[in-house]
Amino acid sequence: MELQVLLLRRIFFFFLLTILQQSSSARILTISKPDRHDYAASARWLVSQNSWGVLSTLSVDHEGAPFGNVVSFSDGLPEKGSGIPYFYLTALDPTARNALKDQRASLAISESPVGTCKRDPMNPTCSKLTLTGKLLILDEGSEEAEVAKKALFTKHPEMIDWPEDHDFRFFKLEIIDIFLINWYGGAKPITVDEYLHAKS
């Protein structure tokens, strides 16, 4: 009898642990996917629903070679995103060091982590977006730095407890060019103005 109870407890614990692991990694969509013909809204949707991407800068350690780094980002509070990606970076990491020397950067994100695309990430029906521009450090205490702080700490609460002695600072990507593929037929035409003023 005691053996059966012990076995049942272990099964229950394993079941509970599995559910917690799955729920902690699950994505909850706050905005439904737009019509694929609305290119600007599609790009904004990708940015709002993603929490990480590959941020590429020009390496100061490798003679200007491209350096891609997985980073967390946020474009605003849930359902109130601006489309502007904000980052919380430290100069102990190459990405911030590179940007402080050369601001040119790009952020690449995919629909795949959102969970709405079941195809290979390179399939054109699985949306992908690259935002190219300047990675700018925000002035401490500025209004925009507070916007970035709220956006990032809401989406990534773990950041609140990151070490103070690592000198994390808020950055933003000032967008100059937008490259979107969300269906067959090549990159979709979107201006920065269309992107920033797109309706959810």
Burial letters 53-62, b for 16+ CB under 10 A, else e:
bebbbbbbee
Alpha carbon dihedral 179, 183, 186, 187, in 10-degree steps, equals: -20
pLDDT tens track for 72-84: 999 999 989 999 9
| Residues found in the chain | 200
CA distance 168 to 165: 8
CA distance 168 to 128: 28
Question: Any alpha helices (H) in the chain, and if so which ranges?
Answer: 2-25, 39-49, 94-101, 143-155, 192-196
Q: Considering all CA atoms of the chain, what is the largest pairwise distance in Å, rounded to the nearest integer? A: 70
Q: What is the pTM of this model?
A: 0.85
pLDDT tens track for 153-191: 999 999 999 999 999 999 999 999 999 999 999 999 999
**pLDDT band of 29, cuts 50, 70, 90:** low
CA distance 184 to 88: 35
- Whether 150 shows a pLDDT value over 70: the answer reads yes
